Amino acid sequence: MNTKNISHWMSWERGVDLAAQIEGSDGSMIMVHVAAMVHTPVGSAPSGMVMVQESASAAPTIMGFVSSNPAVGAYFGPNIFAGTPFENAPVLDARIEVSSSEESCSAIVTVADTEIHVEMEQLGETQRANRAEGEHSPFAQQALEQEAS
């Protein structure tokens, strides 16, 4: 029997994930990866990661792990993203609200005086996803997800 000891883990409920170039921009990017509840060995809280880069030639204006619980936010870098560029990302105090239905999902992430709204509609069928640890993800994933069209 092949067993693996897992000491660094997280699980999440009702996640909203978006990575996109801002329309009409010079390569600006936004990434929102949040969940209504993220569970870790140090606690549970609405949490995730955000990045807003308003210009491709400038540093992000907002970037880091976001959480309403500083201990949960601080867990991600050294435990989940160790060895990646995100390992030392800052932890930002945030208010995260996630709403979902069979047809749509949305997230509002408030960091300091900035509010990020993400809304996705026309969600597809729920699909099971199994992703191995690899170049673009430092961890394996098993998820149920719906794509927006």
Q: pLDDT digit string (tens) for 104-127?
A: 999 999 999 999 999 999 888 878
Is the pLDDT reported for residue 133 higher than 90?
no
Mean pLDDT across the stretch 13-38? 88
Domain ranges, ordered by start, for the chain: 12-145
Phi, psi angle pair for 33, to nearest 5°: -135, 95
The pLDDT score that the predictor gives to residue 106 is 94
Q: What are the residues facing 32 on neighbouring strands?
A: 18, 50
